Amino acid sequence: MIKLLDFYAAWCGPCKMMESVIKELEKELKGKIEIEKINVDENQAKASEYGVMSIPTYVVLKDGKEIGRKIGVTSKTDLLKLLQ
């Protein structure tokens, strides 16, 4: 299964801008992909495990291996392309 890791922080403006896009993806791709939201302030270990230096960062995993990554505000179209 494909998994999207969404690295964010509550205080991050660009992360807030992306919330609606992520919610839309969750609805549209329910059952096809899993989305895991990771607050970098609360889970610094996971952020450092994936080498996340800026947020928002989106990491796509397939069978536990990274197959794609986007950093910053990203269009829904670009995220969908990344997930294919």
pLDDT in tens, the chain (84 residues): 899 999 999 999 999 999 999 999 999 999 999 999 999 999 999 999 999 999 999 999 999 999 999 999 999 999 999 998
pLDDT attached to residue 24: 96
Would residue 12 show up in a list of annotated catalytic residues for this protein? Answer: yes
Task: Report phi then psi at 82, rounded to 5.
Answer: -65, -35
**Which domains are seen in the chain, by residue range?**
2-83 (3.40.30.10)
- Three-class DSSP labels, 55-83: CCEEEEEECCEEEEEEECCCCHHHHHHHH
What predicted TM-score, i.e. pTM, was given to this entire model?
0.94
Of the residues 2, 3, 9, 12, only one is catalytic, namely 12
- Per residue, the 3-state secondary structure of 3-31, as one string, reads EEEEEECCCCHHHHHHHHHHHHHHHHCEC
15 has catalytic annotation? yes
